[in-house]
Structure 1
Amino acid sequence: MPSSSTIDARHRHAYGEEAQELLAELEAALLELEDAPTDQPLIDRVFRALHTIKGSGAMFGFDDIAAFTHDVENVFDLVRGGTVAISRELLNLTLQAKDVISDLLAAGLEFRQADLDASQALAAQFRKWLPKPAAAVAARKAGPAAPGTASTLWSIRFAPKAGILFTGANPLCLLDELAAMGAMQAFPYLQGVGRLEDLNPEEVRMRWDIILATTAPLEALQDVFMFVEEDADIAIRAIDYSGDACTIDKKIGEILLERGDVRPQDLQAILAAKKPLGEMLAEAGVVSREQVASALAEQQIVRARREERKAAADAAPAAEKVDAQAASIRVAASKLDFLVDLVGEMVIVQARINQVVQQKRDPILTTLSEELERLCDNLRDATLGIRMLPIGATFSKFRRLVRDLSEELGKEIDLEMRGEETELDKTVIERLGDPLVHLLRNSIDHGIEQPDVREAAGKPRRGSVRLVAEHSGGEVHIHIDDDGQGIDKERVRAKAVERGLISSDAEFTDAEIYACIFQPGFSTASAITNVSGRGVGMDVVKRSIDALRGSIEVTSVPQQGTAITIKLPLTLAIIDGLEIQVGQEFFVIPLTHVEECVELPRKAAARDDSREQIVNLRGEIVPYIRLRKWFTVPGDAPPIEQIVVVRSQGLRVGIVVDTVIGEMQTVIKSLGRVFRDVQGVSGATIKGDGSMALILDIPQLLQVVTAASR
């Protein structure tokens, strides 16, 4: 049996993951609440997220998080009841609280004193929103329902399994959670405890019947038992006290039948006697006296609640039914990575088997090889599909960024997001966050003008930044557009000349000039601020995108805005490629870049020694590069050579090779540090015969060709 410390660590890790999702949900709801401060479902979302973070935190030992979140939750309990109104000040405080909870969560159980001081200082500000202690005590005595709200009466049966303590859960903490939600009575059952000498302190042999009056919805009650659903028998039902007298004044026998404590035949046998039913059932040994007392309490509470709620009989919220089947399971990222590695190795073995079968020319083996190839393709697609995640989780983080940054700079900005459902490999998404942050900060700081300046230019006071993701072939395109002042091309050119990045007398396209902003240390800002001016950021963006085998393009129109497009591969693990050969060496070109394959005209090959390495393809002049010369492959070129025409970053370039072999599934293997700075190579793959082929870095090769042709 695993130790309790191991189980506790595992459950704390699970709580950390769950809390991060809840914090993201909390931030999204708060930002939406800013535009709709009276939206009750949004307020309920905020309260539920806070309540779950607090309750689960207390259960798994994060007492400081629970105590801090409790103060925030109290304020939003007043918001739910209409006592406190949503304001920008309250939203700012709550967003700061979300950041503090995130910091405390990252620190684990070993909090820094600075984190604790920040949480206590912020908690003190939240307490200012709460009523004075005397008013709070009076409000608690009056009952759990806030003015203008309706509470529901719930019957809860909580029967933990004997080994629940080994999961790190504490049943008493769960009862405290319920007690904090409203007026509660709990009735313990001790029959299963047994004799003292037989008692095992590591096992729980009790169960409870609970009567709870609360304004919290069914989901909040279910959240209390979220982490013990597999380790306890839990039944929650709403008690109807809003019907006619026959429904309201339930007899003891009916309540015990509903709970399953007594069988119908036993009840009928007892009803013939003249004593009170509860007493007779207890004397007959059908039920315990604790069960009778619990049923009597429910009966009395229902009658009392009926008198209090005559005027609002129809206001009690209906209990929502939640599917008990989980829609998804949580899997460690390391397990997915290992699975993808196994699939990659299997693809390589399948290619080797296919090559051997082709040599044998056995029809039975050929059929089996084709079936194996089909299964490998399906397994590969399914495995890579598991790693695909919607990019919306990354996009949602930027609402807060835009809100805070526009407030800091004194600008009015709307963020429009589309294509959040677009899926991308989880590794790409994880490494995409920082580049997008830099690009958005750049658009807000350099692009969008101050409101007065925009009005003077005939623009709306509020600027607009658009963040859009979309699929395009085998790639994902991410667009960051703004309607600001655009990029001053001449200013960028002058700064590039000053730094020696380009010559003053050469001709450059707009795209080449804009590419200078991605050089290390390049900045056109006249002053250093908290946001920009130090020349860092855009070069980090370029390196990050290059590391993802992607590309970035910039277009801009003065006084109309700037558009930045990032093009990324769907996955970094297995891609479709075009296998080519030069001499005795093999290379792979990612299929997403390939446009066509044609034969190199003899006239072009004859003048290849000149500086004009260009070819005329159907009236279009296309520059090309010879892989034989680029990689210094020994041997002479064959009489007839092939050109693979590729496109990237708006450029169309030919790559001259000896032979085009055909398409192949490419399992990408990273190269060692020795080959990190080799231009034109992004990785390697293993072929079916066990030999290696280099994967070409097409964007980098095209930059070289463009520079050479100039």
Structure 2
Amino acid sequence: MTTRHDDDEILAAARAGFLEEADELLSQFEQCLLGLETDPHDAEVINAAFRAAHTIKGTAGLFGCDAVVGFTHEVETLLEAVRAGHLAVDEPLIAALLQSRDQMERLLDEVRAGRSDTPDPELDAISRDLGAQLRTLLGLEAPAQQAHAPGAGTAAAAAPVGGSWQISLRFRLDALRNGLDPLSFIRYLATLGTVEHVATLDERVPGLDALDAEDCHLGFELRFASDDADRAMIEQVFEFLIDDCDLTILEPDAPAARWDALLRQRCGDDDAARARLLATWAAQGVALPMRGAPAAAAGAALERPANVEAAATGEPPAPQIERRAADPAERRRNEPERRAGSKDRRGDDTRFLRVSADKLDRLIDLIGELVIAGSGAQLVAQREASPAFLEAAQRIHDLVQEARDGALSLRMVPIGETFARFQRVVRDVSKGLGKDVELEITGGDTELDKSMVEAIADPLMHLVRNSLDHGIESAEDRQLTGKSPRGRLALNAYHESGLIVIEVSDDGRGLPRERILAKAIERGLVSADQPMTDAEVNQLIFAPGFSTAEKVTDLSGRGVGMDVVKRNIDSLRGQIHIASTPGAGTTMQIRLPLTLAIIDGFLTTVGEVHYVVPLEGVVECIETPPACKADDGRLSGCFDLRGEVLPYVDLRRAFRQDGERPARQSMLLVRTPTGKVGLLVDRLLGEHQTVLKPLGRVFQHLPGIAGSTVLGSGEVALVLDLPSLVGHAAISHAALRRQGHAGLRPATA
């Protein structure tokens, strides 16, 4: 037996599901509108936009979100006019619909915040203004257009508006099992007018011994009055019920033949059932159109077959909503078949589950602890030197690794959804700047950790807006330099060596090297006589407060943004690089690890401290070159590896570890964004699954350290941040060189 508390929890979960689905539908709606700007005559895109708006309206009605229903109905009506061919798709119409999409989002946010019962007057005013704007676009043809709703036939188009309608509804057995609440549709119907009478018919409910709680045996006879609703609008209320009910709608002036047909359809030859239904109609105030015949005569008249009466009067038979649904693909184009019509398929119709992100995070944490415990078991097995124990531990290790990969894949999502958000940004910003810019998206199916997708959205926004404002020129300037008037902004993503690479590129003017350098010298960031490569100059734009803009705009010029981008990417253990060609464009490349939770690492030691190097960056392990063996106090230097001169960093010096240096050390060759670098360590311990733990606040400022992990022995190991470590070593030697001390000196093996 469910309690009121259980019901509240179920309703809250359903409401949360509705809001999540509404967010997805709003995103789909926006993509459709942006697609219509490119191809205004794409009927499929128009239909997809209509379906998204209609689904939001219908589901919002089930939860009593009247403000959402009322405003979205205005949007839906305008889109129906476009579908019917009465309105052309142009820029004012797209702009109005995009504003309406934003308003729908704001109204849904009110529902999410629990303020839907006390509407915001300011939001109401916006809804009224936008609604008036949409009706202005409709012109005087709006009422006629509503008659062209999907499935409305000739009789529907001619149906009158206003008066009392008779709605005869019989649910099928699977309605409840398929998640449909009969009363919710009746409540939604009330948003279009007044439900004057509701008669619940329960004669089909079996006895308790034959009752299945999941079966629906109910029927309803509704009397519905409205001043402006037509057949199409009423049918749309029950559109999602088409496969789960038997529905007939009679207009206010329906002739006798239609009532005849409905009575025969519902009761057949059962005299008692006919009498009960006639009594129900009479109680609802229905005046049967029997040319003034008394009730007894009416009953006799109803004995005649409906098709005979229809033939005699020339009236068409009663239309039924299920017969108009000739094209299921139009109704549920993207929805798989929910059932085969029988109970034996109850277990086969679920393909996806919505899982709380907190539960998923908890699972990842448990997998991480299992990785640590598995490492501990392997250490014990090695100490015991038992072949059987070693084999069992290895089997556990393999299973844990498989479980780890499976758990991490649950959090992997394609980045394409994030990329798609920028279509609207590019459209609005470029129009605001008076520029014509085309957005190209590639690699949208590239996956990375969901937490990283959310964290990277903000830096990408800064980069996109910067490219639009500073990078891409106006159409006039582009034509003067021989370019196409339309600018190009591209977003691309791909995997490379265990990393995800995201690129934001444009074909604009490129970075002004001389202006950047002059500004940096003016601010004292670099000295005037300091030689710098193009890559080093480009990195100066990430300095806090740095800007070369000649004037401040709403988009940029205040010197904030790029330093935030760099800081956010650093916090994700990523790097950002810039490639720019004057007059040809700029590419910002972001390189990120695929996940922040569990990584494959290579375990080393320096003194008594363990260090883990991300395995995707390891190239090879070599014996320490002779040139690196001299203990002359240098933090780093260079060595010759098979004819290639490479830099190295002495980790003992880098982390200021005292103690006697071992007689034999090793060199770990790693790959960084600037090239290959050698790391001088005491011992190489091999591959190690690493559960990355964040550093506490006290240690977050330490350069070269990305986090920590717990080894199977219970000891703590530090995870190296290779780009930060190499950069810190270079900065340290630059400072020593300026002070006249020994710096980076090449040495040969």
Whether TM exceeds 0.5 here: the answer is yes
Q: Identify the range of structure 1 (700-709 vs 171-180) with the bigger mean alpha-carbon deviation.
A: 171-180
Asked if 1:67 is matched to 2:61, the reply is no
Secondary structure of residue in 2 paired with 1:508:
coil
| Aligned-CA RMSD value | 4.2
TM-score (norm 2): 0.78
| 1:126 counterpart (134, 137, 144) | 134
Contact 1:11/1:60, CA 8 A, preserved across alignment? no
Structure-to-structure mapping, 1:82-161, within 5 angstroms: 82-108=85-111, 109-110=114-115, 111-132=119-140, 157-158=170-171
How many angstroms apart in 2 are the aligned matches of 1:648 and 1:656? 15
- Contact kept? 1:580, 1:657, Cα under 8 Å: yes
Cα deviation, 1:260-294, whole Å, max 9, x if unaligned, reads x9xxxxxxxxxxxxxxxx66333599997789999
The equivalent residue for 2:271 is 282
Partner residue in 2 for 1:391: 415
Match of residue 440 from structure 2: 416
2:61 — aligned with what? 58
Give secondary structure in 2 for the equivalent of 1:461. Answer: coil
SS class of match (1:613): strand
Is 2:624 the counterpart of 1:600?
yes
- The code of the aligned residue for 2:137 comes to W
280-289 vs 343-352, which deviates more?
280-289
Contact persistence 1:161–1:205 (CA under 8 A): no
Check whether the contact 2:29–2:52 (CA below 8 A) recurs between aligned residues: yes
Instruction: Provide the rounded CA distance (Å) in 2 between the counterparts of 1:162 and 1:329.
Output: 21
- Equivalent position of 1:706 in the other structure: 730
Alignment: residue pair count: 654
C-alpha distance 140-644 of structure 1, shift in aligned 2 (>3 A): closer
Give the structure 2 partner of residue 347 of structure 1. 371
Q: CA deviation at 1:6?
A: 3.6
1:597 Cα shift?
Answer: 1.7
| Residues 380/52 of structure 1: CA separation in 2 closer, same or farther (3 Å cut) | same
Cα distance change on mapping 1:204 and 1:524 into 2, 3 Å? same
The residue type paired with residue 12 of structure 1 is: R
Task: Give the AA of the match of 2:477.
Answer: V
Return the offset for 1:173: 3.4
Is 1:319–2:331 an aligned residue pair?
no
User: Following superposition of structure 1 onto structure 2, how do residues 363-512 of structure 1 map, counting pairs within 5 Å?
Assistant: 363-512=387-536
2-structure distance, mates of 1:172, 1:547: 47
Q: 1:139 to 1:654 in 2, by over 3 A?
A: closer
User: Contact 1:449/1:463 (CA < 8 Å) preserved in 2?
Assistant: yes
Q: Distance in 2 between matches of 1:413 and 1:149?
A: 48
Matching residue's letter, 2:600: D
Shift of 1:172: 5.2
Shift of 1:378: 1.1
Separation in 2, partners of 1:116, 1:398: 28
TM-score (ref. length: structure 1): 0.82
User: Which of 565, 568, 574 does residue 541 from structure 1 map onto?
Assistant: 565
1:486 to 1:688, Cα distance in 2 relative to 1, 3 A: same
Is 1:686 matched up with 2:695?
no
1:76 equivalenced with 2:100 (yes/no): no
Q: Which runs of 5+ in 2 are unaligned?
A: 160-166, 207-214, 224-228, 250-257, 282-298, 339-348, 735-749
| Inter-partner Cα distance in structure 2 for 1:493 and 1:87 | 46
1:394 positional shift: 0.3
Alpha-carbon shift at residue 10 of structure 1 (Å): 2.5
Counterparts in 2 of 1:460 and 1:217: CA distance versus 1, 3 Å: farther
Corresponding residue number in structure 2 for 1:197: none
CA distance in 1, matches of 2:560, 2:308: 70
Change (3 A) 1:213 1:705: same
Q: Read off the aligned partner of 1:77 and give its amino acid letter.
A: E
Q: How far off its partner does 1:335 sit?
A: 0.9
Single out whichever of 320-329 and 84-93 deviates more from structure 2. Answer: 320-329
Q: How many Å separate the matches in 1 of 2:234 and 2:401?
A: 47
**Amino acid across the alignment from 2:337:** D
CA–CA separation in structure 1 for the residues paired with 2:381 and 2:308: 79
- Once the two structures are overlaid, the 10-residue window that deviates more, 208-217 or 598-607, is 208-217
8 Å CA contact retained: 1:160, 1:207: no
- Identity %, equivalent residues: 37
State the alpha-carbon separation in 1 of the partners of residues 305 and 221 from structure 2.
Answer: 12
Report what 1:577 is aligned to. Answer: 601
Does residue 1:234 correspond to 2:250, yes or no? no
SS in 2 for 1:660: strand
Contact (CA 8 Å) 1:586, 1:692: kept in 2 or not? Answer: yes
Whole-angstrom CA distance in 1 between matches of 2:315 and 2:145: 17
2:226 corresponds in structure 1 to none
- Residue deviations 1:189-213 (CA, integer Å, cap 9, x gap): 242699xxxxxxxx99842489999
List alignment gaps of at least 5 residues for structure 1.
195-202, 227-232, 240-248, 262-277
1:189 to 181, 184, 201: 201
Q: Which amino acid aligns with 1:17?
A: E
> How many angstroms does 1:435 deviate by?
0.5
Equivalent pair of 1:158/1:209 in contact (CA under 8 Å): no
Q: Secondary structure at the match of 2:510?
A: coil
| 1:551 and 2:575 matched | yes
Q: Which amino acid aligns with 1:657?
A: V
Q: 1:174 to 1:662 in 2, by over 3 A?
A: farther
Deviations 1:112-144 (A, max 9, x none): 433332222212211223354xx6667778998
Is the 8 Å Cα contact of residues 669 and 678 (structure 2) preserved in structure 1?
Answer: yes
Q: Give the Cα–Cα distance (whole angstroms) in 2 for the partners of residues 415 and 340 of structure 1.
A: 36
Q: Distance in 2 between matches of 1:705 and 1:295?
A: 98
**Does the 8 A contact of 1:28 with 1:396 survive in 2?**
yes
Give SS of 2:137's match.
Answer: coil
Q: How far apart, in 2, do the equivalents of 1:284 and 1:90 lie? A: 53
